[in-house]
Structure 1
Amino acid sequence: MRAVVFQGAEEPMTVENVDPPECDDDGVVVETEACGVCRSDWHAWTGDWDWIGLMMTPGLVFGHEPVGRVVEVGDEVSRVSVGDRVTTPFNMSDGTCRHCRAGRGNICEKSVPMGFVQFQPGAFAERFPIRVADQNAVKIPDGIDPVDVAGLGCRFATAFHGVAHRVDVEPGDTVAVHGCGGVGLSAVHVADALGGRVVAVDIDEASLEMARELGAAETVNPSEVQDVPQAVKKCTPKSRGVDVSVDALGIAATCRNSVNSLAKGGQHLQIGLTTGEEEGEVSLPVDTMVTDEREFYGSYGMPPHEYEEIFAMMDAGKLDPGRIVTETISLEEVPDVVSSMDDYGTVGIPVCNEF
């Protein structure tokens, strides 16, 4: 089958013929219909994340925001059948550890990141496998476009889990989103759907315009202000700061700006992962966080059962992940789209739907 193959850090990826995945007894094999192209693919392509134990080796097939039709089913699988349309969390879980049993499969003790390790290839390919399918294969309701499902992928799912479950966004709360790439725009959309009053922060006017279309009430362009946190606070009642602030990019500046945008008792949500510049370490105003009782939360992916909430909100017209999809591409275009993300010029979510 054809697949996009990683050749080494910052080396051009190539489309090659590779062996199709085998079906494990507890797994399924899926014929790919669509797969989002994520900034995490760019991180992996550049060689980031060795500081968290991910070492990308040549031969990897990336792609972790997939949807497709099941074509093979293992003997031990009971919940999924041939012909079902499915997606999967990118951080696959085993369903048995203490976190899985508590409904937090996204932080499974044996979590496997799809497309970032050799034994779990990704979906920039004609077919992809899902391990422990009764746990990880999520059936898609009828009538939902595969491109929209790929759009909710890693970025939308992570934003939804973070904004809806990790922090407390109530109707009328003020929410700042720092960085309006795919995950940031997803956070804007989710926060607006939950009744938050959103302030979107980005240096790109096209991204800010899209944020406004997705519900942002105010926008701040850091290139046009001297003090980003103060500019954000001016968008809130009595300039007290926001109730929730999201760093959806992961660089040191956006993380600190997010924490410093908070009101007393506010909650910071970290979604963006750092780059080689930070290597996982960012200095923060700890004393102010203590005296103001600001809280710091992380969001990593989403447990499988929360997809049902997203589908219900989609059915009710409250969420529309497809609005964040800005282009569809072919498998041959994936390498160039991934490598182009180094200039932060991508607006919204690109999705590959031609294999």
Structure 2
Amino acid sequence: MKAARLVEFQKPLKIEDLEVPKVGKGDVLLKVISCGICRSDWHLWRGDPALVAYMQWSGGKLPITQGHEVYGEVVEVGESVAKLKKGDKVVMPASSTGDNRTCKYCMEGDSNVCDHLVIAGYGINGCFAEYMLVPERSVIDLVKVPDGIKPEWAALSSCGFGTSWNAFTMKTNLKPGDMVVTIGAGGMGLSGIVIANALGAKVIAVDVNERSLEKAKILGSIETYKYSGKSEELNEIVEDIMKKYGSVDVVYDTTGIPEAVIPFLPLLRVHGTLLLAGLMMKGKETFPLPADLVVAREIRIQGVLMLPAQKFDTIFKLMKEGKINLDPVTYKTISIYDVNDAYKEMSEYKNAGRIIINKFS
């Protein structure tokens, strides 16, 4: 089978011919139909410390097949697998149980924060390949995808869309008329705009990419702001938002860049929520929080990590009912042979949305 392998950080992925993984007791083999290229995949490729540390913590090492936003077809099941059969279409949540849901958090319905978390492309070989093996300890988290869901949408649900669904439906009670500022309009940020609009909220988007902001407008953002990296520019954006709209209910960060987030805290109303979904890529960043403001307004700061496997059914139901449209969130589909071109485009921040691999031979 063909697989895109990370052999050395910041070097082109190698397209290699590998043996199709052998299925052991309790394992499941997927034929990959589509997989998203997440910004975090790009960060690992760059060798950013936070993700390298996670890869090492979870038992992964180079070379490794990248990719965690996977939608595939079950082609073989190991002995003792009862919940799935050959031909089933499934997604593997980007953060899945690594202990068959036996830890405290899994048993509470939060397998996305399992004590033995498994993320494909970090701890195990991922989905930038024709086939992907899901180990026995994570099979319970595979989610069946009903007929009629577009492959690109299914892949997005695994991480980018799933994380935003967690943010706006589980980590904060977003209501019609609420005002949201989304920092970052990539795959996750654009997904958040889709969800917030579906819930009746009003969204303002901030990003460095003009094409991403154009997508944000298509998806219903009432205002967009281009940020070029200057701190004084962010202060001007905040002042303009405050002047036009007043305080906001939620600030949703998908970038993980402290200096891009902190200026927006004064925008939050009393009992407002700061949602942090972007990973701190250097691994040592700190947020210089204005504690007096956080205390005086009783601002809530909430982390968001992917989506538990137990919460996917509602997403697919809304997709089938036509209440969610992720077509604008998909930037383009490519062949596995074009993955290095995709990383180049991401390095230049030219992609407006998620790049999806859907051709493997």
* Counterpart-to-counterpart distance in 2, 1:245 and 1:77: 42
The question of whether the paired residues in 2 share the 8 Å contact of 1:246 and 1:258 is answered with no
26 and 11 in structure 1: CA distance in 2 versus 1, 3 angstrom threshold: same
Relative to structure 2, which stretch is displaced further, 30-39 or 48-57?
A: 48-57
* Counterpart-to-counterpart distance in 1, 2:292 and 2:235: 23
| Equivalent runs, 1:1-355 vs 2, <5 Å | 1-48=1-48, 49=50, 52-55=53-56, 57-93=61-97, 94-117=100-123, 120-131=124-135, 132=137, 134-223=139-228, 226-236=235-245, 239=246, 241-276=247-282, 279-355=284-360
The question of whether the paired residues in 2 share the 8 Å contact of 1:79 and 1:134 is answered with no
50 and 68 in structure 1: CA distance in 2 versus 1, 3 angstrom threshold: closer
State the identity as a percent: 34
* Counterpart-to-counterpart distance in 2, 1:41 and 1:53: 12
Structure 1 unaligned spans of 5+: none
* Counterpart-to-counterpart distance in 1, 2:112 and 2:280: 19
53 and 280 in structure 1: CA distance in 2 versus 1, 3 angstrom threshold: farther
Deviations 1:127-146 (A, max 9, x none): 00123455211111011121
Residue 52 of structure 1: how far off its partner (Å): 5.0
* Counterpart-to-counterpart distance in 2, 1:310 and 1:193: 12
* Counterpart-to-counterpart distance in 1, 2:35 and 2:202: 31
Residue 332 of structure 1: how far off its partner (Å): 0.6
- AA paired with 1:333? D
Residue 230 of structure 1: how far off its partner (Å): 2.2
Deviations 1:138-176 (A, max 9, x none): 111011121221233311111111111111211111111
Normalised to the residue count of structure 2, the TM-score between the two structures is 0.92
Say which SS state the counterpart of residue 91 (structure 1) adopts. Answer: coil
Residue 50 of structure 1: how far off its partner (Å): 5.3
The question of whether the paired residues in 1 share the 8 Å contact of 2:30 and 2:72 is answered with yes
Say which SS state the counterpart of residue 167 (structure 1) adopts. Answer: coil
Deviations 1:243-262 (A, max 9, x none): 01101111122221342321
Deviations 1:207-233 (A, max 9, x none): 111111112112222346652322232
* Counterpart-to-counterpart distance in 1, 2:254 and 2:43: 14
RMSD over aligned Cα atoms: 1.8
227 and 51 in structure 1: CA distance in 2 versus 1, 3 angstrom threshold: farther
